[in-house]
Amino acid sequence: MKRIIAASFALATAYATAGDINLPQPVTKGGKALMQVLSERKSTRDFAARELSPQMLSSLLWAANGINRPDGRRTAPTGLNVQDTDVYVMLASGVYRYDAKLNALTLVNPGDHRTAAGKQPFAQSAPLNLFYVHDRSRGMKSDDANSLRFAGIHAGAVMQNVYLFCAKEGLATVARANIDYDACAKALKLGTGQRIVIGQSVGYPQNDGFIGRQAAIRAALAHAKFHESDVRWLKCELDREDGVMVYEVDFKKDGFEYDYDIDAKTGTIIKAKKERD
Ligand SMILES: Cc1cc2nc3c(=O)[nH]c(=O)nc-3n(C[C@H](O)[C@H](O)[C@H](O)COP(=O)(O)O)c2cc1C
């Protein structure tokens, strides 16, 4: 039991709290057909506590406002290509700014600031909140009102990219204007000329029908005929393999490394591998 608790605790966050985070390469190929994704796009406000894996977050941020061409242009269009929208990422571990060029999260404010995420309770417990922030210094070279008008359109394009990505991945999401903007700007440590246009909560839907990490760990250990107290380096992560959500369970024992994929919905063992460590 001790090890499972330790494993669950270690899994409390996959994100470093003390510095910037390099993201894995985003997956930019494949997925559902566009018309199916459009059919499934919707707002959902019930989020499971489970956080997104760094891989999923990387792909989501690329879809949101990543660089999709060698000249640095983005997945979301902007008037005159001003690229005035920054995506701020609020996780339980801290607030970060997405750096599309480096494919990294730049730490802005460590710690859990989700109480400032929004006035609706789900925003404060969702594992991920995104904020689309207009930077006036990069905005349209016109008066403030026009620059803000464009900023709204630009952030709206990013927001819809995220809605579509979430529809493709079966994630829950909702755009959110219901924010205490002053409190949130403080949590995001915004400077003069920066303004939150809108937020968006993202996570796994609450009733996803998954068996849960502990059941996946139990299934893998039962297959290997070990007790949890026998093994070392027990890890369990939710991921997508060939379009199927799986729990990847890994552990070590007696010089061997064990690697399992457990179907997240049915609990069926899809892969069971044993290799010399
Ligand atoms: C600009 C904008 C602001 C929104 N603000 C909120 C919000 O603060 N809270 C909320 O629960 N939903 C918010 N929504 C979600 C809408 O309520 C939702 O899109 C609408 O009811 C239509 O539902 P659908 O997205 O499932 O089609 C917002 C949507 C947009 C586009």
CA distances from 84 to 152, 176, 241, 259 (A): 10, 19, 35, 44
Range 114-129 average pLDDT: 91
Q: What kind and span of H or E run contains 229?
A: none
Residue 133 parent element (H or E): strand 128-135
Contact assessment for residue 213 and residue 11, using Cβ atoms and an 8 Å cutoff: yes
User: How many angstroms from the chain centroid is the CA of residue 158?
Assistant: 15
**What CATH code would you report for 213-276?**
3.10.450.40
Residue of minimum CA distance from atom 21 in ligand 1: 43
Contact 252, 268 (CB under 8 A): no
pLDDT category of residue 208 using cuts at 50, 70 and 90:
low
Contact 256, 275 (CB under 8 A): yes
CA 65 to ligand 1 centroid distance, Å: 20
By residue count, the chain amounts to 277
Going from the Cα of 109 to the center of ligand 1, the distance in angstroms, rounded, reads 27
Q: Give percent above pLDDT 90 in the chain.
A: 76
Instruction: Identify the pLDDT of residue 209.
Output: 77
User: Which residues' Cβ are closer than 6 Å to ligand 1?
Assistant: 42-43, 45, 120, 174-178, 198
Separation of alpha carbons 206 and 127, rounded Å: 12
Instruction: Return the domain boundaries, the chain.
Output: 29-68+82-203, 213-276
Atom number of ligand 1 nearest to Cα 122: 11
CA distance 157 to 77: 7
Q: What is the pTM of this model?
A: 0.75
In angstroms, the Cα distances linking 101 to 58, 68, 83, 232, 250 are 12, 11, 13, 38, 32
- Does the structure show a pLDDT above 90 at 159? yes
Domain 29-68+82-203, what architecture? 3-Layer(aba) Sandwich (3.40)
pLDDT on residue 9: 32
Q: What is the pLDDT of residue 7?
A: 31
